[in-house]
Chains A and B, each alone.
Chain A
Amino acid sequence: MKKTVEIVWIVLIVLTIFAYLLGKLHLASGFMVGVLLFTTLIKGQLVIDYFMGMKNVSWGYRLIPTIWLFVIISSIAASYYL
């Protein structure tokens, strides 16, 4: 039996705990911000693909939220590091 949605949910929870621990342990600066933003990109894309159901939609529509997410995360990273 396929458990894709359950796996996605668990990955989202684990990555959220990771982000929280970075904050609590005062590690969310420097290089780790890049790691944190990358995990945020993964979380957003998982919700877009598997919760919104865009994985099975034609590329034209699927790319719109994906490009939005990539541009926003990249711009946040640029504002942090540049």
Chain B
Amino acid sequence: MQKSVTLKEPYPPGDFAIWLVIYVELITFGLMFLGYAYSRHADVALFNKSQLLLNQTSGFIDTLILISGSYFIVKAVNLVKTAKGKQMIVEANQKASKWMLASILFGCLFLVNKILEFSDIFGQGISLDTNKFFMFYLLLTMFHFMHVTLGTIILFNIFRRTKASAYSAEDSRGIETGAVYWHLVDVLWIVLFPLIYIIR
């Protein structure tokens, strides 16, 4: 009987430097998540009352957008990672560019949706010093918004490189680096959404 053995890669995908950034981001957001959770523990009534002013549907749409954007990027990365030979590299990059364009559009959709949500919140006269719940809500979501903005710019640069057929099985480090950054942004939102919008 044949048994297939999959060898583990010694290092994670992407550039080593992006992983240092990812570890720092995980610690930073992790501390903010815990700050929110334990502040809520100290004043559950205030947090539950304030949470009613948030738009859960907007947070839900944001989650679907980020998850789908991540999926599109995985499709693009998988295409170029298996591309060998000039013709195949050109074709794979052309297909990958379409997936990248879709992920950029979804990144922009997230940003537009968030701007609408923020304008609604500010329209209600809410600001950072309204109370502790809104301080955490605005700090976390705006900090995350900045990461999505940077991620979308990175995706746009990757899109331009796919248009130039720059990636292949031998050279996929750049697209993998941008991809893992986007997936980080996705993981952070996956924790943020239930924590701030849903749990009561």
Interface residues of A (CB under 8 A from B): 5, 8-9, 12-13, 16-17, 19-20, 22-24, 26, 28-29, 33, 36-37, 40, 43-44, 47-48, 50-54, 56-59, 61-62, 64-65, 68-69, 71-73, 75-76, 79-80, 82
Q: Are A51 and B74 in contact (CB under 8 A)?
A: yes
Interface residues of B (CB under 8 A from A): 6, 8-13, 19, 22-23, 26, 30, 33-34, 37-38, 40-41, 56-57, 60, 63-64, 67-68, 70-71, 73-75, 77-78, 176, 179-180, 183-184, 186-187, 190-191, 193-195, 197-200
Q: Are A58 and B8 in contact (CB under 8 A)?
A: yes
Contact A69 to B33, CB < 8 A, known contacts A23-B56, A56-B9: no
Q: Are A80 and B41 in contact (CB under 8 A)?
A: yes
Q: Are A47 and B30 in contact (CB under 8 A)?
A: no
SS class, residues of chain A in contact with chain B: helix
Cα distance, A76 to B64, chains bound together (Å): 23
